[in-house]
Amino acid sequence: MFVKRSIIVATIGLLVLSSGCGDDIDDARSVVEVASVAENGIFVCGIYDAGQDKLFPSADDIVPPGHVLVRLQNRSYDDLITAESLEPFGDFVVTGVQVEWVPVTGSTSGEQLANLRRFDYSAQYDVMIPKDSQVEFNVMVVPFAMKEDPYFQNLVDAYGGDGSTPPFTAGARITFTGHDSGDEREVQFSGFAIVEFIGVIVDDN
């Protein structure tokens, strides 16, 4: 679960593409945009969370999930298009998500990027964005398999890790695939999250 913390200070970049654009105005029923990723902050990804006692290592340590909250917006391309929600060309359906790791200039080394890219992935989704509305849902950016990998385990000096991997920052490009209701033509649009990899999260809130 994503928790917005006081140390989250930077904003993310958004890559916004309209859906279904073509030569005919009827080809553009919806414009689907990424309204926010990780609440427009840096997603702080800890391999472990120190838990309620704020001590590490200790008995209440947990491995937090690597979900990033995204908010998508579906707005009408043309006000003259009067399709209602749940009718053809009224809603937009997200059918897939792809996560690709990219460098952040000055913050991501070649070794770090190579280890991240082993965990690029695509997954099927089924999320409907009603006409003229916004919908929030979670995207798994850092799977548990990544946190169990030795390179990322070494962000900590405990539980089998040796502390040899320094904290670092990278970018996650999240590409959404989907289509308008009543139209099988697929379109894509993307958002971008900055992810800070650290060993342990100690929540002061």
- Give the pLDDT confidence of 174-205 residue by residue, as tens digits: 999 999 888 888 999 999 999 999 999 998 65
Contacts made by residues 19-24, CB under 8 angstroms, sequence distance 24+:
19/92, 19/178, 19/179, 19/180, 19/187, 19/189, 20/77, 20/179, 20/180, 20/183, 20/185, 20/187
Give the residue from 128, 126, 113, 118 showing the smallest Cα distance to 170. 113
Domain presence at residue 106: yes
Total domains present in the chain: 1
Residue 152: inside a domain: yes
Residue 8 is assigned to a structural domain of this protein: no
Parent domain of 127:
14-201
> 114-139, pLDDT tens digit by residue?
999 999 999 999 999 998 899 999 99
Predicted TM-score (pTM) of the model is 0.82
| 192 located within any domain | yes
- 109: CB partners within 8 A, 6+ apart: 168
- Quick check: is 31 in a domain? yes
Structure tokens at 103: 């460098």
Go through the chain and tell me how many residues it has: 205
**Of residues 6 and 149, which shows the higher confidence score?**
149
Whether 4 maps to a domain, the answer reads no
The answer as to whether 2 is a domain residue is no
Instruction: Give me the CATH number covering residue 84.
Output: 2.60.40.1940
User: Among 14-18, 63-67, 181-185, which stretch is predicted with the lowest mean pLDDT?
Assistant: 14-18
Q: Is residue 1 part of a domain?
A: no
